[in-house]
Amino acid sequence: MYSVHVGAATHAGRVRGKNEDAYYATPPLLAVADGMGGHAAGEVTSQLAVGTLASWPRWDNPEQDLWSSILQANRRIYQRAFSDEAYEGMGTTLTAAHLSQQSLFWAHVGDSRLYLMRNGTLIRQTCDHSVVGELQRSGNLTENEARSHPHRNVLTRALGI
């Protein structure tokens, strides 16, 4: 038997006045998306991503369904961006997990992180898809240097772009 406690909250942060986050937190599906700040319609993009997963019709094969729903979300965002000039360049991060008694499947793109908590300790499961994340993994940047790097918010992967 497993125990899952779920909570969810978002905040615009210290830099931007508009909150571009979206989440879905109804087990077995958990998802969070963060629209790309400074780009067109970040809040629309994040809602579109999370909404696609939340409305996925069946979760018979969670591993395959998670993959398929994220591909569908990417297609929807991409199509929306090309159908309306106001949405050109929009994108979002997405981290999602599907929980069951036997397994945890997760998928991730961008820099919205996934952690597991075991015995009171948070264990990071994802790597940031960002310029700074790449520099850290290659050994060219320390974690301390990453905190103040001028490109710390530049993503190398996101949905929609």
**HSE-up of 73 (CA within 13 Å, CB side)?**
34
Q: Rounded CA gap, 79 and 81, in Å?
A: 5
∠ CA(97), CA(45), CA(98), 5° rounding? 10
> What angle, rounded to 10 degrees, do the helices at 62-83 and 42-54 form?
150
pTM (two decimals): 0.88
**Long-range contacts, 12-19 (Cβ 8 Å, 24+):** 18/42, 18/43, 19/43
Tokens coding 23: 């989440």
pLDDT tens, N- to C-terminus, the chain (161 residues): 567 778 888 877 766 667 889 999 999 999 999 998 666 688 899 999 999 999 999 999 999 999 999 999 999 999 998 898 888 889 999 999 999 888 899 999 999 999 988 899 999 999 999 999 999 999 999 989 998 999 988 999 999 98
CB 133 within 8 A of CB 145: no
Residues 102, 98: Cα–Cα separation, whole Å: 11
